[in-house]
Amino acid sequence: MELGATLMALLVFVVVKGTVIGFSVWFVWRLRGSLREPPPRRPWLLVSRQSLPDVRLLWWGLALFLVSELTCGVEIYVIMHSSRVLSAIHSVTSAAGMGVFALGLFRFLDQKSLHFGSSECALGRICHGCTVGRPAGCKLSRVLALAAAWVGLAALAPLVSPTAEMVAQPQDYELPLPALNHWYDATLTPWLVAHVPGYLPDHAPYVITSEMLVMELRIIPAVALAIGAVAVGYALRRSVVRAARLATFGAGVVIYSCFELVVYRGTGNTLVGSLGHELAELWFLLITAELLRRSFPSGRAQEASSRLAPDPGT
User: What is the three-class DSSP state of 167?
Assistant: strand
Domain range annotation of the chain: 3-114+139-298
d(CA 142, CA 139): 7
Per-residue pLDDT tens over the stretch 112-166: 888 887 778 777 777 777 777 677 677 888 888 999 999 999 999 999 999 998 8
Per-residue pLDDT tens over the stretch 58-87: 999 999 999 999 998 887 777 767 778 888
Taking residues 103-120, what's their average pLDDT? Answer: 85
| Residue 265 and residue 162 in contact, taking contact as beta carbons nearer than 8 Å | yes
| Residue 47 and residue 56 in contact, taking contact as beta carbons nearer than 8 Å | no
Q: What is the pTM of this model?
A: 0.84
CA dihedral angle for residue 33, residue 39, residue 44, residue 50, rounded to 10 degrees: 100
Give the pairing of strands 166-167 and 207-208: antiparallel
Q: Where is average pLDDT lowest: 74-88, 215-229, 261-275, 290-304?
A: 290-304
Q: Where are the alpha helices (DSSP H) in the chain?
A: 3-10, 17-34, 52-73, 84-109, 124-127, 141-154, 156-159, 178-183, 189-195, 210-214, 220-236, 240-260, 270-295, 299-308
> End-to-end alpha-carbon separation of the chain, Å?
70
Look up residue 50 and give its DSSP letter: G
Average pLDDT, rounded, for the chain = 83
d(CA 249, CA 95): 10
Position 94 pLDDT exceeds 90: yes
| Residue 169 and residue 205 in contact, taking contact as beta carbons nearer than 8 Å | yes
Q: Would you place residue 26 in the very low, low, confident or very high pLDDT band (cuts 50, 70, 90)?
A: very high
